[in-house]
Amino acid sequence: MALIKCRECNHEISTSARACPNCGAVGRNIDLASKVFLGLVVISVIALGTFQYVERYEREQKLNAEVEARIEAKIKSFQGDANRQEDSNWVYQNIDDSMGRGTVSTATLKSINLVSLGPPYDEPQRATLKLKKHPKYGTDAIFSVENGQILCLIGGCKLNVRFGNEELKAFEASMPEDMDTTVVFVKEAKPFIKRLKKTNKIFIEVQFFSGGRQVFEFDTSNLNW
């Protein structure tokens, strides 16, 4: 049986002894086992913490990737809409009806050419073509100028329209309820818009008081309606 000296009292004890029979000090082998056990506990805690950190990191990375993918999809969708808008001369608006009847949608387009109507409307101006969709009042096609007097009496008037290279067609039109002489409504709005969507250019001839007949050209390409 091998003997070693006690670290406390220097008395010889067996290497297998759990404690010194002279002073009661714990044997080296027990002290070493405690240290090994403690070391294993520390390593286990560190390993568990590392595993939890890696697991949490991977979850966060996956979540971030999903969020980034959704954001990127939104950006691409927005860019696609923006590109379609840039490619078009039309200006679109969607406005909630103030009475809660739904959404009012409009598409507005300015004429390519400028026209002078003579005194007192000599300053060159463009005409405006507006398409309007109202949840209660339906669909309208509206022609207007900034200044001037369109000759359209209470009984109505006619707008001569040419879609692209097609033959001229006369559309019945009417004044608005407030009798504004700068605005007329196309009575057959839906057939007008249907033909409008099939062409890239239209010409509208309108008769003005003191300004005579004037033709306005519109680039109607890329209409999204």
Give the phi and the psi of residue 65 in degrees, each rounded to 5.
-65, -40
| Residue found under tokens 């001569």 | 160
Tell me which of 69 and 190 has the higher pLDDT.
Answer: 190
Could you list the residue range(s) of the whole structural domain that residue 48 is in? 33-87
Q: How many domains does the chain have?
A: 3
Say whether both 112 and 205 belong to one domain: yes
> In 3D, which of 86, 90, 84, 87 has the Cα closest to residue 218?
90
The reply to whether 224 falls in a domain is no
Question: Model's pTM, two decimal places?
Answer: 0.62
- Of the pLDDT bands very low, low, confident and very high (cuts 50, 70, 90), residue 84 is very low
Say whether both 157 and 192 belong to one domain: yes
Say whether both 104 and 198 belong to one domain: yes
| Residue found under tokens 């909630």 | 96
What pLDDT score was predicted for residue 78?
46
Contact 201, 217 (CB under 8 A): yes
Question: Tokens at residue 140, please?
Answer: 């309208």
Say whether both 80 and 63 belong to one domain: yes
The reply to whether 225 falls in a domain is no
Give SS3 for 194: helix
Domain CATH for 138 = 2.60.40
| Residue found under tokens 């818009």 | 193
Q: What is the pLDDT of residues 15-35, one digit of tens each?
A: 666 667 777 665 554 455 566
Say whether both 72 and 167 belong to one domain: no
Contact 124, 112 (CB under 8 A): no
